[in-house]
Structure 1
Amino acid sequence: MEEEAKGFVRRVLLFKVKPETPPDQIEEAIKRYSNLVNLVESLKSWHMGTDVSIENLQEGFTHVFELTYESAEGVAEYMAHPAHLEFHELFWPLVEKVVVIDYKLTPFRNPN
């Protein structure tokens, strides 16, 4: 896997948006968030989705985002980037709860 060899880091974010947030405000924030991949060099990809689970185990989380960075240092570069800080100021007031997990891609080889 090419991403493993390069030391890429993935970030998974789960967001629970405040229920009183108007849908158009959420949509505008997501558009701005998606544009960060064009503004921050270390951010290599950006994907998002909304919950469609039938298991009802999402605990109120409504949106998932997956970002890929070139390295752990790239995550730090992203966090300090002015475009990210500007987005954070816009989006954070809409958020009720967030979960963030960063991980390096790790190969799993079944011994069987």
Structure 2
Amino acid sequence: MEETKGVVKHLLLAKFKDDVTPEKIEELIKDYANLVNLIPPMKAFHWGTDVSAENLHQGFTHVFESTFESTEGVAEYVAHPAHVEFANRFLSAVEKLVVIDYKPIS
């Protein structure tokens, strides 16, 4: 059985729809970042945009990384009403996304 305790990173890659304004994207990012204040298992949030010279981004423009203390924390986050409400708004603004949860190995 895989260990469920220990830091888990929740990585989301997104490509926003062409008709979503920069102001709307900024609002969504602000609301995403605020989830760390509303959902206790979410310990940290970072984001950025693609700056790679390799051009392998496959259209994804934004990267969002959240940190949790366990896989149970990720499950609690996913089910939390604040996340559900935010996710519905966020998903309506994205053309495509990828989500990966992983345990960092150092």
Q: TM over 0.5: same fold?
A: yes
SS of equivalent residue, structure 1 residue 35: helix
Q: Deviations over 1:29-49 (max 9, x none)?
A: 110000000110000100000
Q: Which runs of 5+ in 2 are unaligned?
A: none
What TM-score do you get using the length of structure 2 for normalisation? 0.92
Q: How many residues align?
A: 102
Cα displacement (A) at 1:90: 1.2
Percentage of identical aligned residues: 61
Cα displacement (A) at 1:70: 1.1
Q: Which runs of 5+ in 1 are unaligned?
A: 1-5, 108-112
What TM-score do you get using the length of structure 1 for normalisation? 0.87
Whole-angstrom CA distance in 2 between matches of 1:34 and 1:62: 17
- Superposed CA RMSD in Å reads 1.0
> Which has a greater percent of strand?
2
SS of equivalent residue, structure 1 residue 76: helix
Aligned to 1:63: 62
Aligned to 1:16: 15
Q: Is 2:36 the counterpart of 1:37?
A: yes
Runs of 4+ in 1 over 3 A off after TM superposition: none
Q: Which structure's CA Rg is the greater one?
A: 1
